[in-house]
Amino acid sequence: MQTESHNISGTQPLRIAIAGLGTVGAGVVRLLETNRDILTARAGRPIEVVAVSARDRSKDRGVDLSGVDWADDMIDLARRDDVDVILELVGGSDGPALALSRAALGSGKGLVTANKAMIAHHGLALAEQAESAGAALKFEAAVAGGIPVVKALREGTSANALARIYGILNGTCNYILSEMEATAADFAETLVDAQRLGYAEADPTFDIEGIDAAHKLAILAAIGFGARVDFDAVKVTGITQVRSADIAQADALGFVIRLIAQCDVEQVADGSASLLQRVRPSLVAKDHPLASVDGPTNAVVAEGNFSGRLLFQGAGAGDGPTASAVVADIIDIARDEVGAPFSIPMKQLKALPPTEPGHRMERTYLRFTVADRPGVLAEITAAMRDGDVSIESLIQQGRANHGDEVLVAMVTHEGPERNVARALDLLEGSESLTAPPLVLPILPS
Ligand SMILES: NC(=O)c1ccc[n+]([C@@H]2O[C@H](COP(=O)([O-])OP(=O)(O)OC[C@H]3O[C@@H](n4cnc5c(N)ncnc54)[C@H](OP(=O)(O)O)[C@@H]3O)[C@@H](O)[C@H]2O)c1
């Protein structure tokens, strides 16, 4: 038997510069060092770190950067003639990350980034710049960390028309929700715990309000449906209103609660189409594959018309998984396997208007916090009747926090979303409701 030999001596190395040496940047340096031989063989040439930049030169990064140039100003990385590819691992939708990315593509260099916020907001402009410069723009690590879902949608499922893409795209929210489920602790308490363990940032707003998941969803929607990235059209609800009582109720009904990001394209009879993108805490049946996705894990489901349902699951963050995705992009560039950033040429990306989902059929979980007095339940059920919402089950729970409030939860039969909205409008201003109702969709199986 002959063994394959990789003759790469004499081959030009791919020269990279890294901006940002935090969790991801240092992870990339570590991976390049640890897997050097594997990478050289798979890339067909050595990958060499030429220069790096971060804020604090004196900080110990736990990696060997001897022999690597340091740039105080990261834009200088884009000005170097001895660099082929820039890694933008700084973060932030604008500011230095965007300035560096523009400079890198402007000088014809390849750009690899893990920055979902920047790609969600400026991905189209950067892709246009990359296309006209003939440069690579790659962002596998921007969505779902170590899960190669960008590649899966660009390449693996490219023969399919996708019916929908949905999943769990934020590890912080998934950790919090699955911990609330395991411990019966409330949201605020679990968030503090998540921060202590490093699963949530000191300022957790982007995660718990669903914005981070929305960034990733906007990117997946563009790739999966050949649409222009439209982050502003994502309808987002975070997890801050979910109480442990909702999780207990969902459990009793056979569900768990997960933050689900979902997108699909709706074709209209006149030949036009619209794009639905939304992020919502949702009830997920316990026998659905996403129900067993616990802790900081991410998972993405893509439903192709020939492939059927595909599930991609793995670590959505962390130095190792994210570095794995970044370096896979570098290998593609080293092999000249680049392709269009959003899977098809920029001019062919469709500008799809957002779907108005009022007519969509859905089962819904509703939770009301109400005053503990006679007639309240009758008022709520009357509003449901007048809104043409059919109640499948109704549960009056025990007292809420303060003794004079009661939680009432119900699950509706499938019906148009607008009917639930209409019923809730009828309850607007009611003195029986002591807090805004919580409305959670039930994910279809
Ligand atoms: N962490 C993850 O698991 C993960 C997963 C997927 C995607 N991402 C994305 O990857 C990117 C980096 O995330 P991270 O977690 O590695 O962040 P991080 O640990 O905070 O690291 C950020 C790095 O950027 C440097 N930096 C920040 N502002 C700078 C400036 N103005 N000039 C020069 N350097 C600057 C910092 O320098 P100093 O170290 O000197 O302060 C640090 O090295 C973000 O876009 C993030 O969304 C992260």
Q: Which residues contact 318 (CB under 8 A, 6 or more apart)?
A: 23, 27, 145, 146, 296
Q: What is the model's pLDDT at position 7?
A: 40
Q: How far is the CA of 328 from the centre of ligand 1 (A)?
A: 19
The answer, yes or no, to whether any atom of ligand 1 lies below 6 A from the CB of 320, is no
pLDDT greater than 50 at residue 3: no
Tell which one of 23, 77, 112, 174 to mutate to probe ligand 1, the residue whose CB is within 8 A of the most ligand atoms.
23
Tell me the percentage of the chain whose pLDDT exceeds 90.
93
Cβ atoms of 20 and 54 within 8 Å: the answer is: yes
H/E run at residue 435: strand 433-442
Average pLDDT, integer, range 70-78: 98
Residue 35 sits at φ, ψ, to 5 deg, of -105, 25
134-143 burial code (b ≥16 CB/10 A, e <16): ebbbbbbbbb
Residue 332 corresponds to which tokens in the numbers above? 């593609």
- In eight-state DSSP terms, residue 189 is H
Verify whether ligand 1 is closer than 6 Å to residue 145 (CB atom): yes
The Cα angle at residue 52 between residues 47 and 56, in degrees rounded to 5: 150
pLDDT surpasses 60 at 91 = yes
d(C-alpha 338, C-alpha 137), whole Å: 8
How confident is residue 5, by pLDDT bands cut at 50, 70 and 90? very low
Q: Which residues contact 428 (CB under 8 A, 6 or more apart)?
A: none
pTM to 2 decimal places: 0.95
- pLDDT at residue 401, rounded to an integer: 60
Give distance in angstroms: CA of 318 to centre of ligand 1: 12
* Confidence label for 402 from pLDDT (cuts 50, 70 and 90): low
Output the CA 63–ligand 1 centroid distance in Å.
16
Q: How are beta strands 391-399 and 433-442 bridged, if at all?
A: unpaired
Q: Which of 89, 93, 170, 199 to mutate to test the pocket of ligand 1 (most atoms within 8 A of CB)?
A: 89
Of residues 398 and 40, more confidence is placed in: 40
Q: What's the mean pLDDT in 3-8?
A: 40
d(CA 38, CA 334): 13
Dihedral of CA 346/350/356/360: which sign? negative
pLDDT tops 80 at residue 400:
no
The share of the chain scoring above pLDDT 70, in percent, equals: 96
Which residue minimizes the CA distance to atom 20 of ligand 1?
A: 22
Average pLDDT over the chain, rounded to an integer: 95
Residue nearest to atom 15 of ligand 1 (CA): 23
Tokens for 218, please give them. 């906007």
- Over residues 204-230, the mean pLDDT reads 98
* Tens-digit pLDDT profile for residues 262-276: 999 999 888 899 999
Q: What is the pLDDT of residues 292-321, one digit of tens each?
A: 999 999 999 999 999 999 999 999 999 999
Q: How confident is the model at residue 181 (pLDDT cuts 50, 70, 90)?
A: very high
Pocket test for ligand 1, best of 140, 149, 322 (most atoms within 8 A of CB): 322
Residues 200, 441: Cα–Cα separation, whole Å: 25
Catalytic residues: 216
- Helix, strand, coil % (nearest 5) of the chain? 40, 25, 35
Is pLDDT at 434 greater than 50 in this prediction? yes
Nearest C-alpha to atom 21 of ligand 1 is from which residue?
22
In angstroms, what is the span from residue 196 Cα to ligand 1's centroid? 19
Q: Three-state DSSP class for 232?
A: helix
210 lines ligand 1 (CB under 6 A): no
Q: Ligand 1 atom closest to Cα of 92?
A: 45
Q: What is the DSSP letter of 227?
A: B
Using CA atoms of 413, 414, 419, 424 in order, give the dihedral in degrees to the nearest 10: 50
User: Given a cut of 90, is residue 362 above it in pLDDT?
Assistant: yes
Measured from the CB, is residue 408 less than 6 Å from ligand 1?
no
pLDDT of residue 2: 42
Measured distance CA(1)–CA(363) in Å, rounded = 60
Q: What pLDDT score was predicted for residue 190?
A: 97
Residue located nearest, by CA, to atom 23 of ligand 1: 20
Please give the number of the atom of ligand 1 that sits closest to the Cα of 59. Answer: 40
Of 262, 218, 261, 257, which is closest to residue 240 (Cα–Cα)? Answer: 257
Residue bearing the CA closest to ligand 1, atom 29: 55
Q: What is the pLDDT of residues 101-145, one digit of tens each?
A: 999 999 999 999 999 999 999 999 999 999 999 999 999 999 999
pLDDT band at residue 4 under the 50/70/90 scheme: very low
Task: Give residue 350's Cα distance to chain centre.
Answer: 21
Mean per-residue pLDDT for 251-257?
95
Q: Is a pLDDT exceeding 90 seen at residue 397?
A: no
Q: Judging by beta carbons within 10 Å of its beta carbon (0-12, 13-18, 19+), is residue 132 exposed, middle or buried?
A: exposed
User: What confidence category does residue 343 fall into, taking pLDDT thresholds of 50, 70 and 90?
Assistant: very high
> What is the Cα–Cα distance from 391 to 385, expressed in whole angstroms?
9
Q: Which of 55, 60, 297 best tests ligand 1's pocket when mutated (most atoms within 8 Å of CB)?
A: 55
Q: Give yes or no for residue 24 CB within 6 A of ligand 1.
A: yes
Angstrom distance (rounded) from CA 325 to CA 102: 22
Q: Provide the pLDDT for residue 396.
A: 74
With tokens 């950033």, the residue in question is 341
Q: C-alpha distances in angstroms, 161 versus 109, 276, 308? A: 33, 16, 10
Q: Would you say residue 259 has pLDDT above 90?
A: yes
- Give the tokens for residue 283: 């009830």
- d(Cα 306, Cα 138) in Å, to the nearest integer? 27
Give the other-Cβ count within 10 Å of 120's Cβ.
25
Q: Ligand 1 within 6 A of 322 CB?
A: yes
Return the structure tokens found at 103.
Answer: 């400079």
Q: Does 251 have pLDDT greater than 60?
A: yes
